Amino acid sequence: MGLFRLLFWIAIIAAAFWLWRRFTRPARRSGQDRQSPAPMVRCAHCGVYLPREEALTRADQWYCSQGHLEQGPKPGGR
């Protein structure tokens, strides 16, 4: 009878913990609330990918920094 009582209390404590965690967690957002990933572009000089909003552009080519913009595309293309 002692083992049954111990298992009963363990089950009650586990259920209480599960309910507490369920109601104290913030609600999950639906897929519609999530932001879509930022479009990425590749630096024409070094090949690094970066968000388009952070990139510099010249002649339909994207660059990761002012230095690479000034150096232009790497010879041989990538």
Domain range annotation of the chain:
39-78
The pLDDT value given to residue 14: 97
**Alpha-carbon distance 18 to 65, whole Å?**
50
pLDDT tens digits, 4-60: 999 999 999 999 999 999 888 876 666 555 678 889 999 999 999 999 999 999 988
Burial class (CB in 10 A: 0-12, 13-18, 19+), 45: buried
Q: Using the 8-state DSSP alphabet, how is residue 15 labeled?
A: H
- Residue 78 pLDDT more than 70? no
Coil vs helix vs strand at 23: helix
pTM of the model: 0.52
What is the three-class DSSP state of 56? strand
Residue 77 clears pLDDT 60, i.e. is over it:
no
Evaluate if residue 62 carries a pLDDT over 90.
Answer: yes
